[in-house]
Structure 1
Amino acid sequence: MADAAPQDHFRRAEIKGDAELMEAYRNGQSDLIVDGVGRVERLLADDLEGSRHQKFILRLESGQSLLVSHNIDVSPRIDTLREGDEVRFRGEYEWNERGGILHWTHDDPKDWHADGWLEHNGIRYD
């Protein structure tokens, strides 16, 4: 008998919007699929160890910060990204004391996980 795909866990816990994301942060929640929008506060160096990730910090309207870790081995890098730019997102939220981390911002090639994406200047990166 085959095991259930891990995606079932993530599909049960989806939140949308800034207020719900802030609530998840306040409650120390993780493993949530989240949708939202923020402004790029800071561009960070790409993480080139293991799977490569583009990293940057978003500031949400609530004031919460969110570290984005976008897998550029699976999805295209956003080369035109600049501080102050608006980015829409869908991905998995993991709590930390600084505001949280957003990852899985791409399609899951194994289809085990809810697909995510980033959108910048009308272009979707998934």
Structure 2
Amino acid sequence: MIFAIVAVALALSQVELDLPPLDAGKTTASVTGSSLIEQAFTNQQSDVQVEGSGTVTKLLADDLKGSRHQRFIITLASNRTLLIAHNIDLAPRIDALAVGDTVYFYGEYEWNQRGGVLHWTHHDPRGHHVDGWLRHHNRVYQ
């Protein structure tokens, strides 16, 4: 019963904020996002769709080779760090991003020895890949 009330409250708050809707599958992924990333890291898996959140610990220079990407590092609840590579040719840049901010994400995890990279945090203009997103200060970037 409590879970149903929380789910309804989340759904209503997202309508008011114009956030991507949560469905049962994404709610589960959100709760276990850090665990899914830990599992993918341990198993050296890539191409894993994950949802979660982390705290910005470092802002990096944009990657300007090929498609431009805003890059920053977040720390997850598990203390694992994750590089976010957000395509700013396809999605808006997060201009107000600062160290210490919380960022929520839905994208594709790629394994590397440093903790991994999250990309596909944007819509796919060709419609072949699951759309991802970043959320910062209740604004969605996709």
Residue 23 of structure 1: how far off its partner (Å)? 1.1
Query: Is 1:37 paired with 2:53?
Result: yes
- Higher RCO (CA < 8 A, seq sep 6+): 1
Cα RMSD (Å) of the superposition?
A: 1.2
Separation in 2, partners of 1:107, 1:20: 22
Query: Is 1:111 paired with 2:127?
Result: yes
Separation in 2, partners of 1:21, 1:32: 8
Residue 32 of structure 1: how far off its partner (Å)? 0.7
For 2:109, the equivalent position in structure 1 comes to 93
Larger helix fraction of residues = 2
Count of matched residue positions in the alignment of Structure 1 and Structure 2? 113
Please give the secondary structure, in 2, of the residue aligned with 1:50.
Answer: coil
In the TM superposition, structure 1's runs of 4+ consecutive aligned residues that sit over 4 Å from their partners are none
For 1:23, the equivalent position in structure 2 comes to 39
Separation in 2, partners of 1:108, 1:95: 21
The alignment's TM-score, normalised by the length of structure 2, stands at: 0.77
Seq. identity, %? 56
Residue 67 of structure 2, aligned match among 45, 51, 68: 51
Larger radius of gyration between Structure 1 and Structure 2: 2
Separation in 2, partners of 1:36, 1:61: 9
**Equivalent residue letter for 1:21:** I
Where does the alignment leave 5 or more consecutive residues of structure 2 unmatched?
A: 1-25
Where does the alignment leave 5 or more consecutive residues of structure 1 unmatched?
A: 1-13
Residue 19 of structure 1: how far off its partner (Å)? 1.3
